[in-house]
């Protein structure tokens, strides 16, 4: 699970900026993997950023998982850009 840690960072002229970095999971557990395999094909549009934010995993982990689902045939690549890939369920494509 994600851990929240308060970090204080000083700026110029005595101003202090506080933020809480979010530490996301680098691996997908077996329970989460089964849940994702059931829920992702039901979504209209699938992007790595959306999966990472919704399930609190790293974006690189979400990208790898979506490529794995594409190889299995559950989702298909709809739009490929140099920055992001957008997937759709295999039935919709």
Is it true that domain 26-89 has CATH number 3.30.110.40?
Answer: no
Rounded Cα gap, residues 34 and 31, in angstroms = 5
What DSSP letter does each residue of 12-70 carry, written as one string? GGG-EEEE--EE-BSS--HHHHHHHHHHGGGSSSB-HHHHHHHHTB-HHHHHHHHHHHH
| pLDDT tens figures, 72-90 | 999 999 999 999 999 999 9
pTM of the model: 0.77
| pLDDT tens figures, 47-59 | 999 999 999 999 9
Other Cβ atoms within 10 Å of 44 Cβ, number? 7
Domain residue extents for the chain? 26-89
């Amino acid at each position: 699970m994600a851990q929240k840690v308060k970090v204080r960072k000083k700026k110029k002229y005595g101003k202090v900026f506080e933020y809480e970095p979010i530490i996301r999971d680098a691996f997908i557990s077996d329970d989460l993997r089964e849940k994702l395999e059931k829920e992702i094909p039901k979504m209209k549009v699938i992007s790595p950023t959306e999966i990472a934010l919704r399930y609190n995993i790293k974006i690189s982990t979400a990208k790898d998982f979506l490529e794995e689902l594409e190889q299995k045939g559950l989702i298909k690549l709809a739009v490929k850009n140099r920055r992001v890939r957008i997937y759709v369920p295999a039935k919709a494509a």
